[in-house]
Amino acid sequence: MKKIAIVGITGYSGLELFRLLQSHPAVEITKICATSHLGEKLSEVFPQFESLTELTIIEFDAQEIMEKCDAVFFATSSGVSKKLALDFIEQDFPVIDLSGDFRLENPEIYKKWYKNTSADIEYLLKAEYHLADIGQAKANYIANPGCYATATLLALYPLVKNQLIELDSIIVDAKSGLSGAGKSLSVSSHFVNVADNMSMYKINSHQHIPEIAQQLKRWNPNFKALQFSTSLIPVSRGIFVSTYAKVADAVDFASLQSAYEQAFADKPFVRVRRQMPQLSEVIGTNFCDIGLAYNPVTNVVTVVSVIDNLMKGAAGQAVQNFNQLFGYEENLGLDFIPSL
């Protein structure tokens, strides 16, 4: 039984982590940390947890966590873990970080996209950016991918890895529910502006773009750039990504379909669908559902990928990475049936 601490318990991802880990058969949550509601029981702040936990929200203490826990999850906003996580890195203590602070290996790229300075390069190099459905988590510091990045990379992996498309033709149209923006209030998150509406934001400037590009270049060094747009849709949670690319010469639809089926054949949380997936089919689960279509007239492949941004895009993938890191079955604590 692994003893776990969650830092950033009061955010959407922190609460989702708590929900997952509370019922994980190999985990005991022993510490929950935040900067607000200190000294209050979690069930007092969030009544849905009444009778399910007696844990109290406490102040963050790295040394105490390392002495009394086996791993720590950071469900904090950008700019926090790059300060609080350094002691853990120095002690090679297992960390799974849901923020963007350690996803980018180049400090200058982090500064450009996050408008802030990054952790020192010596710490960045000890972190492993790990997409849970590609490969095996190994490093003790796991940089959990972003929600948009997860859905986009899983959609593109078979195409880019197997050189099935023209690399300079990738266009991604990504849409997110409101919880993807976190709990901080803003004019754009006001009900009146979101309900019955759709709006594009951070065009060509979303912070998940560089981590997508970084990973695609690892899969194929010839990759240079992609066109990526993000929109807000009036749902509470979910990511819907439509990806388009020109197919390479001599590649037909059967080859494309086969590449996806082979790439994810042994991946329990990626489902290659025979029909285009719908967002409602993955909400509350750790699944990424993928569907594809090919237009022989335009020579364009369309790939649709859908995830729950708080599950596969955050807490669910973090638990999946935790399972890999500690040698548990990958789907332990994550086998949820989608709700109807």
CA distances from 120 to 75, 124, 129 (A): 21, 7, 16
Residue 78 near residue 100 (C-beta atoms within 8 A): yes
Token pair, residue 73, equals 């999850």
Q: Which of 33, 69, 147, 288 is catalytic?
A: 147
Cβ-Cβ contacts under 8 Å for 66 (sequence gap 6 or more): 87, 88, 91, 93
Residue ranges in the chain modelled with pLDDT below 50: none
DSSP H or E stretch at residue 42:
helix 42-45
* DSSP code at position 145: P
pLDDT of residue 337: 81
CA distances from 134 to 5, 49, 64, 268 (A): 26, 34, 33, 11
pLDDT of residue 338: 76
pTM of the model: 0.95
Residue with structure tokens 């086996």?
70
Distance CA 115, CA 47 (A): 36
Nearest to 152 by CA among 67, 221, 249, 244: 244
Classify 208 as helix, strand or coil.
coil
Distance CA 128, CA 61 (A): 24
Distance CA 165, CA 184 (A): 39
Distance CA 149, CA 212 (A): 6
Token pair, residue 156, equals 């593109």
3-class secondary structure for 286-303?
CCEEEEEEEECCCCEEEE
Beta-ladder partners of 41: 56
Distance CA 66, CA 194 (A): 42
Token pair, residue 210, equals 């560089």
pLDDT of residue 193: 67
pLDDT of residue 187: 59
Interval 206-246: pLDDT, tens: 999 999 999 999 999 999 999 999 999 999 899 999 999 99
All domains of the chain in start order, with CATH: 2-146+313-325 (3.40.50.720), 147-309 (3.30.360.10)
Q: If phi over 0 gives left and psi between -120 and 50 gives alpha, with beta otherwise, what is residue 162?
A: alpha
Classify 302 as helix, strand or coil.
strand
* DSSP code at position 236: S
| 266: exposed, middle or buried (Cβ count in 10 Å: 0-12, 13-18, 19+) | exposed
Distance CA 18, CA 13 (A): 9
147 is catalytic: yes
pLDDT of residue 255: 95
Residue 121 near residue 100 (C-beta atoms within 8 A): no
CA distances from 278 to 80, 283, 307, 338 (A): 34, 10, 9, 12
pLDDT of residue 182: 56
